Structure 1
Amino acid sequence: MVSVFRLPATLANDNEQGRLELEDVDGSCFHSLGMGVLSDGTPFLTQRGLAVLCGVENAHIGTISAQWRDEIQKPRINKIKDILARDGHTPVTAHIPVNVGGRRFFAYREEISLAILEYYAFDAGSQCQDEAKHNFRVMARMGFRAAIYQTVGYSPTREIDDQWRPFHDRLSLMYDKAPDGYFSIFKESAEVSVALGHSGVFPDDKIIPDISIGQIWSRYWCDNNLAALYGERLEYKHCYPDYFPQAACNPQPAFCYPEAVLGEFKRWLREQYIRGGKFQSYIGGQVQRKQITSEAARKALEAYSLNPQIGKRA
């Protein structure tokens, strides 16, 4: 499966030669190559792209693939496999077939591409190519993976960063908005959102645990007349990031509480909300609304060492 793929219309013809330029630090020199990133994060070159890099005809790379599993191996194949074995690789095939936009390509993974490039740079005898030598040295400096990642605009952490973005944006917007001497439920319960994210349930405009926590704590505050002990709570203006549906009602009134009760709130959050079953009920509700899967719910509860069946300490 291919997660990222770039195949420019200017892909070199079979007989064209290509080389990378050290001065081209922005990676634009790679735009004449077919390349991409597999779903496991492994970068690859297409057969034609690898041929351009090695300074040989496309058919030469195709022959390597065709002969890879021959019972009697050609010297060229043996040498390339020796290079791979030196680095701990023993691939069964030379390429992986991939389908992109209805077209079929041969993807040569990072380790295969580098081994074939090294062969044509230094071990092919009279068939060694100056382009391969030059490009191998460039790869040694730039890094094969880094160069392809940069060219196709792929970031190994981008997906995770995007999943955390709603929570991070809320933090940036509201982290310190409670008046001096008071705390917000959002800020002081952020640990719950972080634990959910680490278990694969990322807070967003649908998963907003501080709403549940705030509502239940508010009832606890009133039922136990905590204002008589700690002073009155206040309202402050709470806003959501502008891409949240809730932002249509910005700013919204929310309660903040005297810092004197913070210790009791933390105990209540730990003992009554999380360990007392309320957190489990919240997670169960998200499953029923199909906001998260049952497996994600299990992981979220286990993040707090809770039994998914009873919502108490395991």
Structure 2
Amino acid sequence: MTDQKKPFIFVPATSQKAPEEISLSANKISVLAPKTPSKEITPSQGVLHLGIELNKDVNGIGMGVLSDGTPYLNQRGLAALCGVQNAHIGTISSQWDDEDKPRIKTIKSNLAKAGFTSAAAHIELIHGGQIQFCYPAEICLAVLEYYAFDAGANCQPEARDNFRLLAGSKLREMIYSQVGYDPAHLKRFDKWHERIGLNYQSAPKGFFHVFNEAHTVVYELIVAGADIGEKNVVDISIGQHWSKHWTDNDLEAVYGSRAKYPHCYPDSHPQSKSNPQESWCYPLAALGAYRAWLQDVYIEGGKFSTYLKGKVSRGEIAPSVAQLAVTALVPTLIAPATQ
């Protein structure tokens, strides 16, 4: 008797069961999750700044989340869910542009029914020194549906069972849950990213502006849970204190004259009504002095804490958010509580 490879069937968690895992006993669902809005998947190889944020292997199912929030299965994981050999999934990728292939035509049709198009079947990335083939969740479902219902004699029972369990948004939710990813986390950065997109090249050559140098402070505030947007513009506070430091210490005599540049706010900010707004930018020669001042004077000197206390008193930032941000940026200044 020869050993047969056991199929992977996904079993969702319930209040009585342990967290989701891949097992041999299948449950079925009668109502599928709703489709996500129509959009294009752009998994071209070599996407700039795209990486793997989280990844995990769950009983042979490799999965993760890309830095833009896209949940994915790796090639071997998708093959396991479909009940086919890894090479079959690789062939789908290599033939993706050949729509004369019935299998590719059907898979793309399944993808289109869900409201998606894609230039490639997978995203190829380097992670941990190894090449990773990442198949976005929507493409995984299109392939899974093919092997569940459309592959004729090659239909796989585990593909059918897994598709019934993971259709709609269930696969996406399962991946997020398994790797410990909070999809709401990415949206916290949206307004800050909007401002970066409008202003990252605004300062003239040879100058820097405080906005682009405030990223560390803003990042810690966002991670701590602050709603960074029109009401919480910490770079204004930093800029005002740095400008005063610049004039009080006659730094122009040391580094040269500062200049003005047009700073714009996104439409989501009421400040955008007065775009563009003139803001100071400073000679690059002063960048080292600015960074030392930011850490030593603004952050560790108490100005950042004062800014946060004002926000807390006006109800614009929760006390816990302020504490987390200060702890991250000035850990040596957090004294133990006294009786």
Whether the aligned pair in 2 keeps the contact of 1:280 and 1:308 (CA below 8 Å) is no
Whether the aligned pair in 1 keeps the contact of 2:28 and 2:164 (CA below 8 Å) is no
1:292 and 2:317 aligned: yes
1:137 and 2:162 aligned: no
Q: Name the CA distance, whole Å, in 2 between partners of 1:249 and 1:168.
A: 20
- Pairwise mapping of residues 155-234 of structure 1 onto structure 2 (< 5 A)? 157-234=182-259
The alignment's TM-score, normalised by the length of structure 1, stands at 0.53
Deviations along 1:46-87, whole A, 9 cap, x unmatched?
Answer: xxx94648xxxxxxxxxxxxxxxxxxxxxxxxxxxxxxxxx9
- Pairwise mapping of residues 74-89 of structure 1 onto structure 2 (< 5 A)? none
Q: Name the CA distance, whole Å, in 2 between partners of 1:51 and 1:236.
A: 58
Q: Name the CA distance, whole Å, in 2 between partners of 1:239 and 1:208.
A: 13
Alignment counterpart, residue 251 of structure 1, candidates 276, 279, 296: 276
Q: Name the CA distance, whole Å, in 2 between partners of 1:51 and 1:258.
A: 63
Q: Name the CA distance, whole Å, in 2 between partners of 1:50 and 1:146.
A: 11
1:282 and 2:307 aligned: yes
Judging changes above 3 Å, is the alpha-carbon distance between structure 1 residues 210 and 50 closer, same or farther for their aligned structure 2 residues?
same
Whether the aligned pair in 2 keeps the contact of 1:193 and 1:202 (CA below 8 Å) is no
The alignment's TM-score, normalised by the length of structure 2, stands at 0.49
Whether the aligned pair in 2 keeps the contact of 1:235 and 1:255 (CA below 8 Å) is yes
Deviations along 1:193-246, whole A, 9 cap, x unmatched?
Answer: 112122222421111110000000000000000111111110110001111111
| Pairs aligned (count) | 190
Judging changes above 3 Å, is the alpha-carbon distance between structure 1 residues 157 and 295 closer, same or farther for their aligned structure 2 residues?
closer
The residue number in structure 2 matching 1:115 is none
Judging changes above 3 Å, is the alpha-carbon distance between structure 1 residues 52 and 197 closer, same or farther for their aligned structure 2 residues?
closer
Q: Name the CA distance, whole Å, in 2 between partners of 1:296 and 1:167.
A: 17
Comparing 260-269 with 299-308, which one deviates more in the overlay? 299-308
Alignment counterpart, residue 169 of structure 2, candidates 148, 151, 162: 148
Whether the aligned pair in 2 keeps the contact of 1:201 and 1:296 (CA below 8 Å) is yes
Query: Secondary structure of the equivalent of 1:254?
Result: strand
Comparing 201-210 with 260-269, which one deviates more in the overlay? 201-210
Query: Secondary structure of the equivalent of 1:171?
Result: helix
Deviations along 1:91-121, whole A, 9 cap, x unmatched?
Answer: xxxxxxxxxxxxxxxxxxxxxxxxxxxxxxx
Whose radius of gyration is greater, 1 or 2? 1
Q: Name the CA distance, whole Å, in 1 between partners of 2:245 and 2:169.
A: 55
Instruction: Report sequence identity in percent.
Output: 34
Whether the aligned pair in 2 keeps the contact of 1:298 and 1:308 (CA below 8 Å) is no
Judging changes above 3 Å, is the alpha-carbon distance between structure 1 residues 138 and 297 closer, same or farther for their aligned structure 2 residues?
same
1:301 and 2:301 aligned: no
The residue number in structure 1 matching 2:126 is none
Whether the aligned pair in 2 keeps the contact of 1:182 and 1:258 (CA below 8 Å) is yes
Whether the aligned pair in 2 keeps the contact of 1:238 and 1:250 (CA below 8 Å) is yes
Q: Which structure has more helix as a fraction of its residues?
A: 1
RMSD between aligned residues: 3.5
Q: Aligned letter for 2:159?
A: R
1:260 and 2:281 aligned: no
Poorly superposed stretches of 4+, deviation over 4 Å: 133-136, 154-157
Q: Aligned letter for 2:170?
A: Y
Query: Secondary structure of the equivalent of 1:241?
Result: coil
Query: Secondary structure of the equivalent of 2:188?
Result: helix
Query: Secondary structure of the equivalent of 1:303?
Result: helix
Cα deviation, residue 137, structure 1: 2.8
Q: Aligned letter for 2:303?
A: K
Q: Aligned letter for 1:238?
A: H
Q: Name the CA distance, whole Å, in 2 between partners of 1:135 and 1:201.
A: 47
- Pairwise mapping of residues 44-83 of structure 1 onto structure 2 (< 5 A)? 50=28, 52=30
Q: Name the CA distance, whole Å, in 1 between partners of 2:221 and 2:317.
A: 11
